[in-house]
Amino acid sequence: MGETGGTYLIRHWRGELPLWQSFWVNLVAPLVAWRTLVGWLLGSPERFSDLRLFSALGPALTLIGLLLCVWQGVGCWRAALRYRKLHRERPARAMWGELVRVQLAILVAVAMLWAPRFAIITGRSLHTALFPERGDWHVAREQPGVISVRGRFGYGLADAVRDALVKWPDTAILQLDSPGGLMWEAETLYRTLSRSHLMTYVEGRCDSACTYVFVAGRGRYVHEGAHMGFHGLGEAYAADPRTRRHHERLYDARGVDARFIRNALDTPPDHLLTLNARQLVRVGVAQKVVSEEELQPR
């Protein structure tokens, strides 16, 4: 049976290419390259300056990957059927066609098992790209040398803080009072603070994503009445051990107690592991309990 011609893509789709080429060149090699590319892009959000752009990337890659997998799978399946027909008089060789079909069936089964989680993550990413959470945050200079961040973290907060630091270059302290919010904004602020001289201070509440910003300070101080709440990842993300390790590293890089980090990330996302000021110092989240007067910039 000869090849009927057409473009390379069409010939693969029809199963007209040699089986080894359809399997190794058009299926295995692109899958490895695709996995590497997606891991490189989505595993380093700091490469992207905007939450909406990063969030749109996930659904776009999912759609492209889905189309690619259909093209790969159909072409390989047809090539395997063609190979078996060509070698029906030689069962030992025809067996290779059956092995390829079995492997394709296994890949489809694994993809179906992971599909619900990918659907949840893709849906959330698309929603964030179109309708990012705005929060109710407020950035202000309450006194010389002190910028305060109050309210729920939302889209644009990190940019607002960076703008404030440019506007008031004498800032030494970032005061936080927040129930948490968008983790993207928290991680962006984490990177900004970890490269700066800024100290962080909490007088009242700092929960969830806010705690990541707090631990990034060069000096980390809390008022006697302060408390912080910690919790783990949502179900859609907790299944990926790389995501958990990433969050562990954010705390660990700032000297937080390893046992506490594990306990915090084991806490269900709808609960809070709450620590008072003295406990925060004991586990390494904060460095010292101070009064507002002690923390006045000099």
pLDDT digits (tens, 9 = 90+) for 39-76: 888 777 777 878 898 889 989 999 999 999 999 999 99
Q: What is the pTM of this model?
A: 0.78
* CATH 3.90.226.10 segments of the chain: 138-289
Matching residue, tokens 């993207």: 184
Q: Please, what are the averages of pLDDT over each run of 10 residues along the chain (298 residues)? A: 72 95 96 89 77 90 93 96 92 92 95 88 88 92 94 96 95 96 93 93 96 96 97 70 86 94 94 97 96 70
The CATH class of the 138-289 domain is: alpha beta
